[in-house]
Structure 1
Amino acid sequence: MATDITDIAHAVEAAAVMKLLPARPRLLALGEPTHGEDTLLRLRNELFRQLVEQEGYRTIAMESDCVRGLVVDAYVTSGTGTLDEVMEHGFSHEWGAFPGNRELVRWMRRFNESRPAADRLRFAGFDGPLEITGAESPRRSLTALHDHLTAHVDADLLPCTADTLDRLLGADEPWTNQAVMTDPSRSVGRSAEARELRLLADDLATLLATWTPHLLAETSTDDVDRARLYARTATGLLRYHHWMADPSPARMTRLLATRDAMMADNLLALADRGPALVYAHNGHLQRDKSTMRMWDHPLLEWWSAGALAGARLGERYAFLATALGTLRHHGVDIPPPDTLEGHLYALPEDRCLIDAPRLHSALGDRLPALRVSPYHGYAPLDPARLPRTEGVVYVRDVPRG
């Protein structure tokens, strides 16, 4: 068994990745099984650097707030702000605190310094302005969309004034109240004001879509893309807050599905712009349903962003899952030999890239057991998902960063 797997293990390099694929995909996604490990972030940086330099990818997208990501993009493309400011304000989920992400942003800026605008490397966040504990107010994205339209479209066509939006939005605190996550009765997501805001957001998004030719002539593709991002974010946040107020048993499933749907919409928008590299948790990028256990809920299942984007793009979407052997500082020791990670741990390489469908065939009809993790922040790779995965990036040991 180990010999068969050894025969299909290759160096983690751009050329080896491309050999797994029939053509260069529009979205090439690299997943991770746990967040915040600099060993994995540095490996990502090196692989993405090669794919940018050798394969012409010109966008790098991460599981971070899509609106905050505009701050990072402005820095890497034109040097706006300082690196410290960008790492503090351009990321969500504490991503800005990790050295590997700082190294990535610094390298992206260096890569762009001597390049013409059309050939510069872009950055994008593709998550919504969401945390597991709650969601942002729709104020920022909704008012930005309204401002863009106000500047370029006849005022008579706008469905409301900025003052009306401000009145309906009210204070931000009720929107961002973290107690809502466990108590839907405290949400403002189904108030009369929120219902009116959903209709206005839809009208503003429609106005943007129907006046796109005019806006492209008056502004630029980047400006219109940014306005579309604000429209997707505003409507998605209002939808998310609506389901935060839902008292039914389906509430958490709907919230998780809504978040991944927002991610997928952002990924598809990036794919329309050009080939993009994507980095997030395996669970968001896989082609299968995602699963999670939260608090006293039964097992939750929903379609991941990768499944949604992959359904639209077909072979133009490719997914590499990362698997690891040990994560000892979190109590994850040598994997049992009857698990997928156990088979991989028998390989001599510290890290390698494996053709996932061929790995599935090499393992035979009886699949390995699913590894059980003692650490809730690490998700082992399910061997049943190998046929719907292009490649497995395997890292033998992940030391404390």
Structure 2
Amino acid sequence: MLTGFVQQVKAVNVNNPKTAAQYVSPEDYGAAGDGIKDDTRAIQSMFSSATLKKLKVVIPAKTYKITRTISIVPPAGSNEFRLDVEANGDNVFLYGGSTGACLRIVGLRFSTWKGVKIKLLNAPNIVGIDLDTDGTAHSTSNINFTTCHVSLGKGIGQRGWRIGAVSSGGADISIINWNNCSVYGNYGKVINGQIGWHNEGPNSLNNVLNTCFGAYLDKFFSNTSTDTKNTGNGAFYFYGTGTSHNNLEFEISNAQTYLINGGRFELGKHMLVVHNGNVAPAIIFRSIEISNYNPAETSDLMNGCLFFLDMPCSLKIDGCNIGNQTPYTEKMIRAFGGGEGKAIGTIIIDGGSIAALKNKFYQVNLNKTKWSVYLRGVGRLVKGVRSDMMDDKAGMVQK
């Protein structure tokens, strides 16, 4: 009985997929996996066959060089498909294409991808994984990406993940979970326009980043598009996020709800920028640590601030520990609101502690838009020790 059991296990061993009909691997289609030979045709054939035959893709610990976008789409006659992928190794795909994305995924649903790692070379504006919809496939959703990683090259405008660059209207890119995923830029030098996660989908809802990490990026997350007609709109949630050495963590211009819950952000320049857009977002930072930020001195209105709000929105900073190399003055939060004066913005800081030189560490009502500010139980952080901060009695609300 034991011998029979061992033989059965060997038959479905993911490290030897050729022995089991339910798996395919790059070698089945002639890939070399040495990082030198162009394996584009073999990789495309593997994914096309897997989607058509409903097979799992298992990729061994090799490096496959790709020189043009791999299109992963529903088979003919379908508008969606399921495809599970399990990969191993440091750089599974090495993308040397001059345009587009290493992997473009349309219509994928109810699937799990594990261990996929992509290294981009140096062409500008290329992407690691592009999630989208088209005229046939109206939903790309219910996907789990686990321990997937994108390493950016030296090209300006490169992105780790792009969501909904083509989709429009009611196209659905939702319920996508990134678990323990990461995007790294270039160590020691942040390159202009490089983004970890870039959402451009107008209907992207209930997407979650869980214990994900981004470092040496121009922007960790952005939903602002160069095409103003297709600026991302939806809801994203971040749990246990970590970042380091980024120019900007969150750039938001047109959104619904953002929750950043738990995690540590360190050694960056700016935490949040909200641009003037069509839909006022509600943004909550809860129980996070912001450590050793040194906001960049710029010539624009963002000059030296950690949170910059140029749209009437709702920002809540709840139980957060905010420290930096130079204690903040009133520049920590700067709220304008677009200048139209047609709405009221709200800032709520509840509990937590801030390294600040003054009780008033924010600037509001700098133009026609009115901002309501509520502070409760905020502590002063001095050399890592929390003490009383507000002039009024403990527990009272300042407005």
TM-score under structure 1 normalisation?
0.28
* Higher helix residue share: 1
TM-score under structure 2 normalisation?
0.28
* Higher strand residue share: 2
Query: Who wins on radius of gyration, i.e. which is larger?
Result: 2
Higher relative contact order by CA 8 Å / sep ≥ 6: 1 or 2?
1
